[in-house]
Amino acid sequence: MSDSLQTLTDEALHALEQCADDDSLQAWKVKYLGQKGVVRDLMNKIASLPVEERKPYGLAVNGFKEALSHAYEARLQALQDAKLARDLEEGALDITMPGRPRQVGGLHPSTQTLRQIYAIWADMGFQVYKSRDVEDDDTNFTLLNIPPHHPARDMQDTFYTTEPNIILRTHTSPGQIRAMRDLGQGGTQPIRVILPGMCYRYEQITPRSEVQFHQVEGLVIGRNIRMSDLKGTITAFARRMFGEQAAVRFRASYFPFTEPSMEIDVECFLCDGQGCRICKHSGWLEIAGSGMVHPTVLRNGGYDPTQWSGFAFGMGPERMTILKHGIEDIRYFWANDIRFLEQF
Ligand code: DAH
């Protein structure tokens, strides 16, 4: 290193030793290591040197820069340590004070219910099949045996998009068609899936209805699937979900995509079937719609209904969550109000 560089180094390090607070330290850094600082200046001189001097000069300046950077870091650390020691001594820092609790996130109540549902069905051999949120009109309705002028379309006020025939799915049932076509290999393979996802309906938002909500659809296709399979499977699910002693009942109902169709109730777990406000004093809570897959739907999925049969169901996780926790207003679910979310 040349003598002048050595002198500069001594000067700089000496000046650094004099820095006793943040301000002077920063000023030193600007002076030596800054954009227009001493190091930069020296670097700029390289171009004006004879070629053979450039390399040794560059190396020397780099060494200078390194030495200053290291010294700076060390000084910074020393000042911080000294401040900490002073604070401790003066009692400005009470290390016996309990720490502030850290806010940790939690799972949304719907997510908790969904995961519980997934786990139970997974134990029974059901895989999760993710269908799409943006559907076509055909799959959402027509292929599910709901023709254009069928009165059941009134039950589902639909969000239409600007694309013709492209809508937001109003239920997870169209996933049945997609699962059959996708997994069935031309109607030759059995299927056992659940299809969870968000559904959308163009409705007035009230304490009891929202424009978006989850459903978990279930679909089983096989060669000899019967109503007793449906009843046994759903009962097993309900016992895991609502307790071993939970009674389940099946009520005749109507859905265009199942025949016969049933509504599934469990005994009210809030009053043990005695009758309360939540179950409207009936002792029963409705948890799902279900039925044997309609032959037309089987055919639309690529299966021969004389050889194959199946059952399906659709349940609402938000509804289950509402019942479980006695939540009074469904609008809380997507309002993102921390006071609601933090209760779960
Ligand atoms: N898709 C129906 C709804 O949104 C629910 C449903 C009923 C699904 C019966 C099914 C079923 O798979 O078999 O109200």
Quick: pLDDT tens for 111-121. Answer: 999 999 999 99
**pLDDT attached to residue 103:** 82
Q: How far is the CA of 17 from the centre of ligand 1 (A)?
A: 77
Q: How far is the CA of 45 from the centre of ligand 1 (A)?
A: 79
**pLDDT attached to residue 148:** 84
- Which residue, by CA, sits nearest to atom 7 of ligand 1? 289
Q: How far is the CA of 262 from the centre of ligand 1 (A)?
A: 10
Mutate to test the pocket of ligand 1, among 220, 313, 320 (most ligand atoms within 8 A of CB): 313
Q: Check: pTM over 0.85? Answer yes or no.
A: no
Mean pLDDT calculated for residue range 9-38: 93
- Which residue, by CA, sits nearest to atom 12 of ligand 1? 313
**pLDDT attached to residue 155:** 67
With a Cβ cut-off of 6 Å, ligand 1 is lined by: 171, 173, 217, 255, 258, 289-291, 312-314
Confidence label for 156 from pLDDT (cuts 50, 70 and 90): low
Confidence label for 91 from pLDDT (cuts 50, 70 and 90): confident
Confidence label for 102 from pLDDT (cuts 50, 70 and 90): confident
CA distance 321 to 333: 10
What is the domain partition of the chain in residue ranges? 2-90, 109-341
Mutate to test the pocket of ligand 1, among 290, 297, 309, 319 (most ligand atoms within 8 A of CB): 290
Q: How far is the CA of 170 from the centre of ligand 1 (A)?
A: 10
Positive or negative: CA dihedral 80, 81, 87, 91: positive
**pLDDT attached to residue 66:** 94
Mean pLDDT calculated for residue range 246-273: 94
- Provide the CATH topology of domain 109-341: BirA Bifunctional Protein; domain 2 (3.30.930)
Q: Hey, which of 36-45, 139-148, 262-271, 294-303 has the most confident mean pLDDT?
A: 294-303
